[in-house]
Amino acid sequence: MVKKAINQELMRNTNKTQILKCIKEKQPVSKREVAEELGLSTTTVATFIKELQGEGMIRSGGTAQSTGGRRSVLYQLNSDFAYALGIDLKVDRLCGVLLNFKGEIKGVKEAELVDRDEWQVSRLLIDFIQGMLAENEVALSQVGGIGIGVPGVLNRERTIIEFAPNLGWRNVNLPAMLALEKPVYLENEANAGALGEVVFGAAQQVSNLVYVSVGVGIGCGLIINHQLFPGFLQYAGEFGHMTVEPFGERCRCGNQGCWEVYASNSAALRMYVEKTKQQQTTFQEFLHRGTKGEQPALEVLQTLLRYLGLGIANLINGLNPEMVVVGGELTAAKELVYHSLLKEIKARTLEKSFAGVRLEFSQLGDQAVALGMGSIVLDQMLNTVN
C-alpha cells in the first residue's frame, strides 16, 4: 500500500512537472495543446493547470481561436514567480545574471576578483549576490536557487570543488561556505557554457555540440543527444590536457605537451613574451596589437590558431558534432581569427565530418557560463515542483 501511494505521488509530480515544462517550451499555450503534446487527458491537464495557477507559477493571458470557433485561454509561466541567479566564477572576476522564472534576463553584474583565497572569494560572492538582488529589487526569499560555474573539477555529487588549479583550490565546499539557505548548484564552467549556448546562444536546437572554452586553460563541454555528457566520474571534456606535442612544454597537470599549453590565452602570452622579450601583457592587449597589425602578435596568433584548429579537428573527427562553439576572449577578434581557424580545421578533419559541422563563436560573450548556470537553476526549480 505504501509503495503504491509513493508511486501515485511520483506520477502526480511527473505529470505536473511535465505540464510545467511543456508550458515553458510552448508558451503561450492552451490546455488542449498541452494535453495533445503530452498524451494526457484534458481533465488531468485542467486539474494541474488550476493547481499551478493557484501556486502562482503560471498565469493565463490572451486567448486563441480553437477548432469550432471557440476561443481557448492561453497559459504561460508567471515571470515574477521566482528568480534564478547564475554566476560565472572566473579566475579574475565574477559575472552574474539574474533571470526571472521565464528565463528572461532581469539584471547583470560584474565584479573584480583580486584575492583568490577561498574565504575571500566566498565573502565576495555573498556581497555580490546581495548587491545584485538589491540593484534589481529582488529579495533572497524570491530566489529559487543560485548556480555557480567554476573553473575546475567537481565531485560526483557536484557539491565540492575538488580541484581548481587556476584558483589554487582543492576540496572546497563552496555551498557550505556561502551558507545562503538557498540551493546552490555547481557546474564546471565549460559544461555551463555549453548549456548557455544551447538555451540562449548560438547552439539553440543543436543536439550534438562541442563547446570549447578558451581562457587561461582550455575546457570543453559536450552535449550529446541534447544531454550534457559528464563521463563516468564527471571528468569528461578535459581535452585541454590531450597531448598535442609528445615532447612539448610541461603542463600544470604534470603531463607535457598538452593542448592548453599551446592553444590557450596563457600560451599566447608565453609565446609572445618569448618572441618579443617584452614584459608580460594582458590577452586583450595582445589581441589589440594583433588587430592593429603588429607583426610579432600576428605571428603568435597564427601559431595559436594552428594548435587550436588542430585540437578542434581532433574533436570533430572523434565526436562528429553538429556544431562547435568557441568561447573566450579570443572571440572578440572574430574577423582576424575565424578564417585562419576554419582553414586549419578543414585541413585536418575528415571530409564528411567537416561538411556536416558548423563552427561558431559564442554570441553570449562573457555571459555564456552565467546564463548556463541560471538555466540549470530554473530547470531544478521545474523539476522539484510538488
Measured from the CB atom, the residue of 160 and 267 that comes closer to Zn ion is: 267
Q: Which helix (H) or strand (E) holds 313?
A: helix 295-319
CA distance 345 to 340: 9
AA identity, residue 169:
W
Residue 217 beta carbon to Zn ion: minimum distance, rounded to whole angstroms = 8
Annotate 211-248 with b (16+ C-beta within 10 A) or e (fewer). bbbbbbbbbbbbbeeeebbbeeebebbbbbbbebeeee
Residue 246 beta carbon to Zn ion: minimum distance, rounded to whole angstroms = 13
Measured from the CB atom, the residue of 242 and 298 that comes closer to Zn ion is: 242
Q: Using CB under 5 A, count the residues that bind Zn ion.
A: 5
Measured from the CB atom, the residue of 261 and 319 that comes closer to Zn ion is: 261
- Is 241 an interacting residue with respect to Zn ion (CB under 5 A)? yes
Measured from the CB atom, the residue of 161 and 258 that comes closer to Zn ion is: 258
Residue 256 beta carbon to Zn ion: minimum distance, rounded to whole angstroms = 8
| 286 CB burial (10 A radius; 0-12, 13-18, 19+) | buried
Annotate 303-321 with b (16+ C-beta within 10 A) or e (fewer). bbbbbbbbbbbbbbeebeb
Pick from 111, 140, 180, 253 the residue near Zn ion by CB under 5 A: 253
Cell numbers at 202, concatenated: 548560438
Stretch that binds Zn ion, among 124-132, 244-252, 328-336, 344-352 (CB under 5 A): 244-252
- Is 251 an interacting residue with respect to Zn ion (CB under 5 A)? yes
Query: 117: how many CB neighbours lie within 10 A of its CB?
Result: 12
Measured from the CB atom, the residue of 103 and 165 that comes closer to Zn ion is: 165
Stretch that binds Zn ion, among 183-191, 213-221, 224-232, 239-247 (CB under 5 A): 239-247
CA 235, distance to chain mean position in Å, is 16
CA distance 287 to 265: 10
- Is 220 an interacting residue with respect to Zn ion (CB under 5 A)? no
Residue 48 beta carbon to Zn ion: minimum distance, rounded to whole angstroms = 50
Query: 367: how many CB neighbours lie within 10 A of its CB?
Result: 23
Measured from the CB atom, the residue of 96 and 217 that comes closer to Zn ion is: 217
Pick from 166, 255, 266, 353 the residue near Zn ion by CB under 5 A: 255
Residue 334 beta carbon to Zn ion: minimum distance, rounded to whole angstroms = 27
Pick from 98, 258, 323, 378 the residue near Zn ion by CB under 5 A: 258
Measured from the CB atom, the residue of 189 and 197 that comes closer to Zn ion is: 189
Residue 228 beta carbon to Zn ion: minimum distance, rounded to whole angstroms = 22
Q: Which helix (H) or strand (E) holds 106?
A: strand 105-112
Stretch that binds Zn ion, among 2-10, 38-46, 50-58, 241-249 (CB under 5 A): 241-249
CA angle 271, 293, 333 (to 5 degrees): 75
Residue 287 beta carbon to Zn ion: minimum distance, rounded to whole angstroms = 24
Residues at the contact surface with Zn ion, assessed by CB under 5 A: 241, 251, 253, 255, 258
